Amino acid sequence: MFLQAHGFETSVDIARRQTYSLASVAGQKRPFKTEGPFVKGEADHSHQDNIEARRGLREEILESTPLESAQDLLSRSVTRFTASAIHPGAGAPTEDERPRAASVPPGSSHNPLLSLANPKYGLPAALINNFRDLGVDTIYAWQASCLLARGLLSGERHLVYTAPTGGGKSLVADVLLLKRIIENPTRKAILVLPYVALVQEKLKWMRRLVEGVEKLVPDEDDDCTSFSRKRWKKIQKSIRVTGFFGGSRVTTTWADTDIAICTIEKANSLINTAIEDCSIGNLGVVVLDELHMLDDEHRGYLLELMVTKLLLLQQNIQIVGMSATLSNTEMLAQWMHAKFFISTYKPVPVDEYLVYEDAIYPAATSRQLLQTASKLTSANANSVHHTIPPHRTIEKSQHKELANSATNSLIALAVETAVAGFGVLVFCGSRSACQVQAAIISEAMPPPEDVEELSKRLDLLADLRSLACGLDPVLEKTVLKGAGFHHAGMTTEERELIAAAYDSGVLRVLVATCSLAAGVNLPARRVIINGARMGRDLVGPAMLRQMCGRAGRKGKDEAGETYLICVKADMEAVCDLLDADMPAIESCLAPEKKGLKRALLEAVASGLVSGCDAIKEYVRCTLLYRTVDKKLAYSIMTSALQELIDEGLLLYKDDESYEATLLGQATVASAFAPEDGLFVHEELKRALQAFVMDGDMHIFYMFTPLQAAMDTQIDWQIFRDQLDHIDDSGLRALQFVGVHPGFVNTMVQSGASLKESTPSQINQARIYRRAYAAFQLRDISNEVPLSTIASRYKIPRGTVQTLAQQCHGFAAGIVKFCQRMNWGMMAAVLDHMRDRLEAGARADLLEMAQVTFVKSWTARLLRENGFKNLRALAEADPKDLVPVLMMINPGKAQKSQLYPTEAERYAAKLLAKAEIIVDSANKIWEREMQVEIDA
């Protein structure tokens, strides 16, 4: 039954009234020994109880751990200041006024259509059991209604649908995708997601979902012709799921998979390849998650390209698009010739509040609040409470750290939720703010409730410490108190560990940038949005909905709350934001975004279209054609075709058809945009004339991703320092591509920034940014530790790691470009260097760098300490590897702050890692030996 608190009671009210015995999962109630002083009356009576409880906890830990370590750990967990109490306000409704939440979801729980086992869905028993094992016993009425719409389960119709975050969107797409694959064993599926983290998360989910599920392949003794029997025998019954994304080391090809889970770029490349080699007929279904990304200025046009190509082909390929933030669903469905479905059902009730000047108001009254707030001055700020009675009020804090009302409110709301035993997500505007706010929240958090909770947090610290990048000093302080942060400046491994710890309840507070809202599926009882700005810009309605959508998830929690903390300067904009409708999705193929040029080049180069009529038909399949005047669409098409001809990417033939030039084909095969293909071509063409081969710098420059380079901010002093220490070969390579030391000196002395107004200035900026990023790639390949590179260039470690990951895909594109241009020698030279970049190691370590957990610096340390090659690693005793692994973070394992309990956990984690390393080395060694035997 849903909680009757919907609308007015807080998570603390619920916690006081109910006792739970659920697993320790974020957003769920966990047992706790004490409650903090939430309101003043209770604070006075419970203070002594809190002291006694903490004393009992201290004695319990002292009995179970070494004396010096327990004392030290508890001293580190002392609360430096207390969170402000939160009082019921005059505007809080009485019990009779509180609306009741529905006790069951729409549709009777006895409705047989709400079971996936119903014959109408036609799902195999193994799949139904897997859904059940993953927590899906029944479906919602809207899901049943959507799935049973005419032509969807049979794959005859496309589908576009929208439902709130947490409302069960993914299940509909999963059922349609899997049914298509199971019933059509020769067909494949592509599932498209915008972010690598989402691809990795979905990959794990889908593999668990299809475990033991087989495609409907006829047995050999079925009544069929010998030809059919021979054909069916070749088909593998099990369902193979593969992830395709930038930086992945997957060797599986399109031919070797049944379900490809891809980023947008990889999916578009797969479809292009399938069209070109005429295997597109093997594709049975394409699922586009986060369909609102259609109007993303950087990547949206790629989604539109995919859909346009599929619509033009008119093959038996089902297209399924979904999002929580679509406003013009019907128009998108018309474009895709699809059935559209809109659900507003949210299985967990979520209450929304606005926090202003230490008072909490239901968000519905924000417009009235604005009218009052605009009349306020600093002298009579308290009068707003008399005009609009708040739902609750937050006490002013006596601590100077909490003098700011927004900070005071943030700490009070976060700690209140965490102490009650629930998970809380805090969204803030920048990476640095994440760390600052996590630190200050942790100062007000109570100490761990019991030894087990402390033990789990120490395990997390050991995991973080065992990473190659070491333990972040802020996390070292906050994790013990149950708080952490999550942003793109962290390494992938750090983010995964922190996210998993929050999801399992080890951390109760997670402070994140807004990218987490769309990138990872982490629910919370309470979501706090600390300010309406993400960076310098106001957050948009779509992102606001994404963040708020993290509050309350079915199976994780029974209620949810969102709090938007607003400062006076942003009040009017916030009220407009709360009242705003979702923006309509628009095409990204408009002239200023140059998307149509790439769309036309890809269509012609892949052989999809060539004649004028076919190209016009292709344009009619675009979203652009649906959203602009038809004459304007054809005008944009004509201009784009002429530009492609002028740039040497297309040829206009005598029979009035178009053909891609060798350069055009190479650009499409490499998955480059036309402008990037032209830039790469010019640089490679010059390199062919005088490639600097007596060093690596020229290759590092060529492999630096264009987009990553344009996002790079240059520190000119660091640039000059690197130039001063570079060898003659590297200097010649940089001067050859257009880097002039004199210009760098001028930038250092003047303190100016690069001008990027004219085409020549943009080109110059691209060269210098790529050169600056190339220094970082050089360091990665020369086994410089990630943390050292981050410190050297004053950038986050995650930024260095992202550059390395992006360069893998870009380097593959460069090699393919050379191959298509018939530059075989250049392709061979670059292909060798790709392996070094991928491994992050010099050539002598490439073999060992294949091993799990053994990359660059780790491989070098192992080699220098007696494990000379792969065979030595495979034959090693894992215990002998632990001292070497400890050297990765010299001093970390021996500094005085590494307490005995932490040291033991750290060593245990390293031993587990060593066992995985030896096992992985064994498997690779056995595989290589088998290859030699077969040869």
Q: In CATH, what number is assigned to the domain containing residue 782?
A: 1.10.3380.30
Q: Give the pLDDT confidence score for residue 10 in this predicted structure.
A: 44
Do 831 and 865 lie in one domain? The reply is no
Share of the chain above pLDDT 70, in %: 79
Query: If residue 427 lies in a helix (H) or strand (E), which one and from where to where?
Result: strand 424-427
Q: Which residue has the higher pLDDT, 620 or 852?
A: 620
Q: How many C-beta atoms surround the C-beta of residue 459 within 10 A?
A: 17
Do 823 and 852 lie in one domain? The reply is no
Tokens 């750090």 appear where?
494
Residue 97 domain-assigned? no
Do 128 and 267 lie in one domain? The reply is yes
Q: Assign 489 a pLDDT band (cuts: 50, 70, 90).
A: confident
pLDDT tens sequence across 296-336: 878 888 999 999 999 998 889 999 999 988 888 899 999 99
User: Taking a C-beta distance cutoff of 8 angstroms, is the pair 891, 831 a contact?
Assistant: no
| Domain limits for position 452 | 11-89+350-579
Last residue of a domain, one of 611, 634, 659: 659
Task: State yes or no: pLDDT of 914 exceeds 80.
Answer: yes
Q: Give the pLDDT confidence score for residue 42 in this predicted structure.
A: 37
Q: Which residue has the higher pLDDT, 580 or 891?
A: 580
Residue 642 domain-assigned? yes
Last residue of a domain, one of 292, 324, 342: 342
Last residue of a domain, one of 822, 840, 858: 840
Alpha helices in 400-466 (DSSP H): 405-419, 431-444, 451-465
Task: State yes or no: pLDDT of 221 exceeds 70.
Answer: no
Separation CA 416–CA 10 (nearest Å): 10
Residue 78 domain-assigned? yes
Q: Look at residues 535, 527, 643 and name the one whose alpha carbon lies nearest to residue 596.
A: 643
Residue 103 domain-assigned? no
pLDDT tens sequence across 513-531: 877 766 667 878 899 988 8
The first and second tokens of residue 65, run together, are 């751990």
Least confident of 102-111, 134-143, 579-588, 741-750: 102-111
Do 298 and 241 lie in one domain? The reply is yes
Residue 95 domain-assigned? no
Number of domains observed in the structure of the chain: 5
Do 329 and 196 lie in one domain? The reply is yes
Do 835 and 849 lie in one domain? The reply is no
Do 567 and 709 lie in one domain? The reply is no
Q: Which residue has the higher pLDDT, 569 or 185?
A: 185
Do 570 and 605 lie in one domain? The reply is no
Do 607 and 747 lie in one domain? The reply is no
Residue 190, beta-bridge partner list: 260, 286
What is the CATH number for 116?
3.40.50.300
Q: Give the pLDDT confidence score for residue 894 in this predicted structure.
A: 47
Do 363 and 298 lie in one domain? The reply is no
Average pLDDT of the residues in 402-431: 89
Residue 6 domain-assigned? no
DSSP label at residue 657: B
Do 802 and 934 lie in one domain? The reply is no
Do 665 and 645 lie in one domain? The reply is no
Q: Which residue has the higher pLDDT, 764 or 109?
A: 764
What mean pLDDT value characterizes the chain?
80
Residue 483 domain-assigned? yes
Task: State yes or no: pLDDT of 130 exceeds 90.
Answer: yes
Residue 585 domain-assigned? no
pLDDT tens sequence across 786-826: 888 999 999 988 888 888 878 878 888 898 999 999 998 88
Region of 729 (left: φ > 0; alpha: ψ -120 to 50; beta: rest) is alpha
